[in-house]
Each structure stands twice: as C-alpha cells, then as structure tokens.
Amino acid sequence: MSDAKSRMIARAARDIAPGMTVNLGIGLPTQVVNHLPANFPVCLHTENGLTGIGPTLPPDAADRNLIDAGGAYVSTVPGSAFFDSATSFALVRSGRLDLTMLGAFEVAENGDLANWKIPGKFSPGAGGGMELAQKARRVAVLTTHTDRAGNPKLLTRCTLPLTAAACVDRIFTDMAVIDVTPAGFALRELAQGVTVADVRHATGAPLHIPGDAIPIF
C-alpha cells in the first residue's frame, strides 16, 4: 500500500472517539482498526451478527464459524456478543451505530453516495451497505481521491446508482479530508505534499477552502 493510502487510513482512525460503536466496511475501511491504539475503548460491529470484533486470525488459528461480513476470520474480545441478522440491523437502523466508514465509487457534494453498482460492469448487490449508509449516525467515506483512470470521485452529482442519498458527513482520501456541508464540499485537512490546487484539480465539484491554516496529515 502507498504511504498516502496508509496515512489516509491512519487519519480516519483518529475520528473514532472512545466509547463509539463502529462498523468498518469491506475493503480499505476494515484496515482502520489496525491504526487504533492498543486497549482503545471502542465496540466494532459487523453485519453478520457480532459486536466486539477481535483481531483477524490466520487460517490455522481461525474458528470456521467466526467471520466478519467480508468473510475474514476474526475473533472475539471479552464482552463480545453474537446475534441474528434482524438484531444486527436493528442495531444499525435504530441509531445505535455511532459511525460507519465505507468505500465509495462516487460521492456528491450533497452527500449522496454510490458504492454498490456500476451498471453493466459490477452489480453484486448492496449487502448491508444501504442500511449502514442511510442509518448510521455518522457516515465517513474512505476512498482514493480519483479512480484508476484519474477521474474525480467527488462530484457535483453522482452518475452511478445511489446507495443512499445525502448520507455522507466526511470523506478521507489520499489527498485530503473533506466535509460535506450545506454549502457543498469543504476542505478540512491536506495530505503531506498535497496543495490546495492539487485537491481542486482532482475534485469534480466546487471546493470551499477555509480562511485559516489547513492542517496537514
């Protein structure tokens, strides 16, 4: 993984506050857990029916019945609980999930998120993504700022089918931390070695720049 991606993931981890219940989506967000301090007080939830996710285990140490929603073999911690799928999503929809971190194909300046379908190319179904995006109290996105072809993923409007409308609060990318505000995208922090002009150039929507100094991560 590139340094920029690692720094993005480490930066995202700093938004997890002590005491939160958090769901980390499949892909980059799952790795956020590796950047939490040891003994950090947080409860991680996974859709397939576990709160209190412990460390990921190699195959030889794994329990065949204990996975996360992405299929990784995980473990429990003291205080973990198992439950059925209805209970798992009751936790999501009732507002008990303080934060979810999700991947994205596109995010719009009003917070619309598209991360589940590219018509004609990729349509495996949304899994639990719609409920996470729509009902977690806070939704953060972790994504590269542009796609592999260099096209912006932060746009005025999403072109792909939505996962949920107006749901994203904050976006962590390899270039910046950007909040979704009533006025659109607002730059909060810059990655090391990245300029405001770089971020503007790589963003497909207007970007509000704060008047004071921009923190670097």
Partner 1 sequence: MRLPDKTTTMEQAIAAIPDGATIMLGGFGVPGTPFLMIQELVRQNKRDLTIIKNDANETGMGVDHLLVAGCVRRLITTHLGLNANAIRLMNEGAIEVEFCAQGMLAERIRAGGAGLKGVVTDIGIDTEMGAGKQRIEIGGEVAMIETALRAGVALLHAARADTFGNLRFAATARNFSPLMAMAADTVIVEAEEIVPPGDIAPDDVHTPGPFVDHVVHVPQLSGEYAVVRR
Please identify, using beta-carbon distances, which residue of 134 and 181 lies nearer to partner 1.
134
Among 21, 30, 163, 173, binds partner 1 (CB under 8 A): 163
CA distance 165 to 111: 7
From 8-16, 43-51, 143-151, 186-194, give the range in contact with partner 1 by CB under 8 A: 43-51
- Residue 125 touching partner 1 (CB under 8 A): yes
The region of 10-18, 82-90, 191-199, 204-212 touching partner 1 under the rule CB under 8 A is 82-90
The residues annotated as belonging to the active site are 47
CA–CA separation, 1 and 38 (whole Å)? 22
Lookup: tokens for 130: 């719609």
Q: Which of 84, 95, 200, 206 binds partner 1 (CB under 8 A)?
A: 84
Contacting partner 1 within 49-68 (CB under 8 A): 49-50, 59, 62-68
CA quadruple 119, 125, 127, 131: dihedral, nearest 10: 50
Tell me the DSSP string of 4-53.
HHHHHHHHHHTT--TT-EEEEPTTGGGGGGGGSPTT---EEEETTTEEEE
Q: Binding residues for partner 1, per CB under 8 A? A: 46-50, 59, 62-69, 71, 73, 82-86, 88-90, 92-93, 117, 123-128, 130-131, 134-135, 161-165
